[in-house]
Structure 1
Amino acid sequence: MTQTGPLSGIRVLDLTSVLFGPYAAQILGDWGADVIKVEPLTGDAWRYTGQFRNRGMSGQFMAVNRNKRSLAIDLKHPDGKSVLQRLIPSADVLVTNIRPAALARLGFGYESCEQLNPRLIYAAATGFGQDGPWAKRPAFDEVIQAASGLASSIGSDEEPEFVPSLVGDKICAFALAGAVSAALFRREQTGTGQMVEVPMLETIAGFNSIEMFGGAAFEPPIGPIGYKRMKERRPVRTKDGWLTMLPYSGENWCAFFEAVGRPELIEELCVKDPVLRSQNIDKIYACMNEIGPTRTTSQWEELLLRLDVPHTAFARISEIDQQPHLKAVEMFTIIDHPSEGKVRQARPSTRFSESPAAIRRVPPRLGEHSREILEEAGFDEREIEVLLNGKGMALGS
């Protein structure tokens, strides 16, 4: 199979499950890496979460496990351990979200893997930094949203709210893919591997602090914490729907209020001065909510496009593949899966002009590539049969 993408030639052992780790490994696969998904004999738990045509192949699982081959082994079984030990010397990257202490007990902590392959990039997707008191705690997206302050930012200190999306896992997946790429670059310079850790709590807390520190970005604080503008921003109701419109610069605001026949608001709300405009932002957005219902969504879009004011109508998630820009760039594609039929997925969004990312492999069935991977690792037919009979691994159907 033709390899494409800037990571072509890189082999990744993916010892992850559910979302954070698998999504990071899929990004590396989209970027050209040969990703071997090492699964327990029961499979990644994410295989059974959400809707599916066939058990073990849910849409959610397939969304983060394309461009991978599946190897099903039992790492608690001596035979399963021997397989992974044979694979590690040929790998460039090992990605895991198994808790570090548990993986070390199995014999695959960083120090053990480094002895097998000094060039290995050992990437640990953790919930909490392993040098902190919460190192051994289990972590899920809602736990991280709560502990990082993100839920407080979305709601309030008095009544926090979760983002209705697994944003912590997905943001951290991009951070992990970037960290692995950086470590691979350093290896090209030095010839040696290293351990990379991306802890969810620290990553999301830092991500959230950028604008949410507010006045607390200074010591001592010079104002309240938080970003008031985000609290005031709301979808604007139009005559027949909803719109987001975000005049941004002083020129934008002046042009906007002139065009809607409210020029007096330019001076009244001090929109020319960025500092005073920020102080009046709640009043400004209140005026926009009053003005919104005077036009239809399409009338607003025609006007705002002419004024060069940032805006868009709201896309329904049920119709997201028909959003005009996304449809034009063919963001969503239909792939033909041999057992699951036609499957809709988002293509890789990152563009590489000389080494394009691509969907090369459909999401694998459990253990689908076990024999193929063992043969590549140098196992002969007799050894493979012994492994199968010993119950330390499984072949896919």
Structure 2
Amino acid sequence: MTGPLTGVRVIDLTTVISGPLATMTLGDQGADVIKVEQPSGGDFSRHVATRRADMSASFLNNNRNKRSVTLDLKTDDGLNAVQTMAAQSDVFIQNFRPGVAERLGLGYNALSALNPKLIYVSIAGFGHTGPLAQNPVYDPLIQAISALTTVQAGSDEDRPRLVRTILPDKLTGIQTSQAITAALFSRERSGEGQHIQISMLDVIIAFLWSSDMNGHTFVGDEMEREEAQSYIDLIYEVEDGFVSIAVMQDKQWQGFTKAIIRPDLLEDPRFATPELREINRDARLEAIQDAVRGFAAADLIKLLDAENVPNAPVLSRTQMRQHPQVAANGIVVETLHPVAGMLRQARHPSNFSKTPAAIRRPAPTLGEHTQEVLAEFGLPVSGA
């Protein structure tokens, strides 16, 4: 069996994380992803830290199921090769700074004239127009301008904090892959390609709005100042580590007080209803912390599970990959890379019953497939 995107050809000119993660997702789902890189060094992520046999973990973890072609886009031969490939492909994706692709002759208008059915994707940082569109951008800057750092802080009065993973980059990759498949579906019905423009800033603000912008939803009744939300503090210290406990409903509050044998908390008028527990959240959090501090994590989890109280252990990265639920899901897999050796990675997260995703090929070495791919398109190798 083959993946759901088998037969789809993608020309990928993206680098670093957001674009490569998007195209790896398509590759995991069966697409033929051709990664076009500059001969002098290729994707920047090839050169970052955490490496083995001259292959970086970052590149390996965002570029499997792709073929690498090296082309010098500063030459006519290189540009002609990319244009020829785009004319015979389904998707073209780039994350150059706005305007660069157009100056190279690789913009949407130029390539769609060669291939009207092409799905053309432009990924930007701040946006494609506007005062910041031409500024250099990295993930922390998007976290800052999108208000994600103040959401992470908990309130407008606390020091802003970065989320300690490159969330804007990763979410942009996921959103981009979804947009591409939606455009491919639309093309199946209309026969027409289109231009998808997406920015990291757009993605994160939309992401926040579903849960973190309630105080700015009703026009004319906006919150002037954000206060801390209780969910950011639902990690509690116990005797030998930390446990997350999420008590929302009345039955869960009742189960919690029963599990730890604290009927006084159930009788406390400050915690009588979900609304009161939210109004008095600081007192509630302090009460829960005081109540569970003396428990061992495993003992507390067993008691909470018996009363169907939502909880989970707080794990390190090493503990996570060894957890029985992770093993049961089959999330972490091992594959042999011909250069970097045995790798441990997360599989594609979606399970398709009839068209399963798969790791079909390892992340390529720079230019590994140049001759093979150029021959497929009828191009001379001298075009590299």
- Given the two structures, how large is their TM-score scaled by the length of structure 1? 0.92
2:208 and 2:281 mapped to 1: Cα distance? 21
Give the structure 2 partner of residue 108 of structure 1.
Answer: 106
**Structure 1 range deviating more: 179-188 or 290-299:** 290-299
Give the structure 1 partner of residue 49 of structure 2.
Answer: 50
1:90 and 1:227 mapped to 2: Cα distance? 53
Deviation at 1:62, TM superposition (A): 0.5
Give the structure 2 partner of residue 337 of structure 1.
Answer: 337
Matches within 5 A, 1:1-397: 4-41=2-39, 42-55=41-54, 57-155=55-153, 156-157=155-156, 159-221=159-221, 223=223, 226=226, 228-230=228-230, 233-379=233-379, 383-384=380-381, 386-387=382-383, 393=384
Equivalent residue of 2:333, what SS? strand
1:211 and 1:302 mapped to 2: Cα distance? 31
C-alpha RMSD of matched pairs (Å): 1.7
Deviation at 1:375, TM superposition (A): 1.0
**Structure 1 range deviating more: 65-74 or 303-312:** 303-312
Task: Give yes or no for contact 1:151–1:161 (8 Å, CA) kept in 2.
Answer: yes
Task: Give yes or no for contact 1:212–1:226 (8 Å, CA) kept in 2.
Answer: no
Equivalent residue of 2:256, what SS? helix
Deviation at 1:78, TM superposition (A): 1.0
Equivalent residue of 2:52, what SS? coil
| CA distance 1:302–1:319, change in 2 (3 Å) | closer
1:202 and 1:309 mapped to 2: Cα distance? 36
1:222 and 1:199 mapped to 2: Cα distance? 26
Deviation at 1:162, TM superposition (A): 0.8
2:223 and 2:261 mapped to 1: Cα distance? 35
| CA distance 1:365–1:160, change in 2 (3 Å) | same
Q: Structure 1, residues 41-64: CA drift from partner, whole Å, max 9, x if none?
A: 121000011211233x20111000
| Runs of at least 5 residues in structure 2 that lack an aligned partner in the other structure | none
2:187 and 2:93 mapped to 1: Cα distance? 16
Deviation at 1:224, TM superposition (A): 5.5
**Structure 1 range deviating more: 232-241 or 297-306:** 232-241
| Runs of at least 5 residues in structure 1 that lack an aligned partner in the other structure | 388-392
Deviation at 1:269, TM superposition (A): 4.5
| CA distance 1:183–1:226, change in 2 (3 Å) | farther
Deviation at 1:327, TM superposition (A): 1.7
Equivalent residue of 1:237, what SS? strand
Deviation at 1:248, TM superposition (A): 2.0
Deviation at 1:4, TM superposition (A): 2.0
Give the structure 2 partner of residue 390 of structure 1.
Answer: none
Deviation at 1:208, TM superposition (A): 1.7
2:320 and 2:293 mapped to 1: Cα distance? 25
Q: How many residues align?
A: 381
1:257 and 1:339 mapped to 2: Cα distance? 55
- Given the two structures, how large is their TM-score scaled by the length of structure 2? 0.95
Task: Give yes or no for contact 1:332–1:346 (8 Å, CA) kept in 2.
Answer: yes
1:147 and 1:376 mapped to 2: Cα distance? 44
Q: Structure 1, residues 232-282: CA drift from partner, whole Å, max 9, x if none?
A: 524211122211111221111012113322222224255452222211222
Equivalent residue of 1:71, what SS? strand
1:290 and 1:255 mapped to 2: Cα distance? 17
Task: Give yes or no for contact 2:245–2:311 (8 Å, CA) kept in 1.
Answer: yes
1:177 and 1:5 mapped to 2: Cα distance? 15
Equivalent position amino acid for 2:286 in 1: A
Equivalent position amino acid for 2:212 in 1: M
2:227 and 2:370 mapped to 1: Cα distance? 51
Q: Structure 1, residues 216-242: CA drift from partner, whole Å, max 9, x if none?
A: 322222656546334652421112221
